[in-house]
Amino acid sequence: MCGRFALVIGKDFWTRFTVIDHQAQLTPRYNIAPTHEVPIIVGESPNKVVMMRWGLVPSWAKDPKIDNRLINARAETVSTKPAFRASLKSKRCLVPASGFYEWKRAAEGKVPYYIHRKDDEIFAFAGLYDRWKSPERSEMLSFMIITTTPNSLMKEIHDRMPVILRREDENAWLAKDALETDSITRILSPYPARMLEAYRVSTAVNNPQNESEGLVKPVV
C-alpha cells in the first residue's frame, strides 16, 4: 500500500508538469497522510493543479467518511471494481511526489523507510479522482493512489508499492480517453528498481502531525 509520502516543490515544478496557470501557493510537505489536501495534476489542456483530499469519495457515495478506506486501489483489480470504474475511464490524475514512506517488519517492530529517485527528481504516482456533492450541494474533490506488485528493491521492504508513472506515460494517463486493457496493464507495472533508493528514517514520521525536512533524512 501507500499511506504516506512527501512533496518538495522546486521552481521547475510547473514546467515539469506543463502547468501554465500556477497561481497556487505550494509549500514543501514531508509527511502527507490520508485526509490531507494535496496538489494534484489534472489534464485540462493545459494541465491544471487542483487541491484534493487524499481518500477517494466516489460521486455516488452516501457517506463521505468512506475516504478513510479508499486511499489505494490495486492495479490488478482497478479496472473491475465498481468504485473505481468511472474514474479509471475519465478521471485519471498525476499525484506529484518527491518520495514515499513504507514500513518494514523487523524484530523491534515496524521500521520506516523513505524511497525516492536516486537523482532526487520529482515524479508522479498514478492516481484516480472523483467529485462528490453533498445533499446541500457543497463539493469535494478527492483522489487515491494506485499500487502494484513490488520491484526487487521494494520486495525487501513491503509486498506492495505505489505505481510511479514513467514520464513517457504521464500524458496518456492524464488523457480523457479510455485506455485499453493492455495499456493499463503496462502503465501500472512496477517502476524500475535501479532508479530508486531506499533508506531507514526516523520513527517521527509515524505521527502524521510531525512535519519537517528531517523526516526524509537517513538515520544511522
Per-residue pLDDT tens over the stretch 172-193: 999 988 999 999 999 999 999 9
Per-residue pLDDT tens over the stretch 86-113: 899 999 999 999 999 999 999 889 999 9
Average pLDDT for 135-147: 89
In the prediction, which pLDDT does 22 show? Answer: 75
Report helix, strand or coil for 38.
strand
| Higher-pLDDT residue of 216, 25 | 216
User: Does pTM top 0.85 for this prediction?
Assistant: yes
Domains of the chain from N-terminus onward: 5-216 (3.90.1680.10)
CA nearest 217: which of 197, 200, 192, 194? 200
Average predicted confidence (pLDDT) for the chain? 92
pLDDT at 131 over 70: yes
pLDDT at 67 over 70: no
Report helix, strand or coil for 114.
strand
The DSSP result for 50-113, as a single string, is EEEEES---TT-S-GGGGGT-SEEETTTTTT-HHHHHHHHH-EEEEEESEEEEEEEETTEEEEE
| Higher-pLDDT residue of 23, 114 | 114
Instruction: Identify the helix (H) or strand (E) that includes residue 145.
Output: strand 139-148
Lowest mean per-residue pLDDT among 1-10, 17-26, 114-123:
17-26
Percent of the chain with pLDDT over 90: 76
Q: Give me the active site residues, please.
A: 2, 102
DSSP secondary structure letter of residue 179 = P
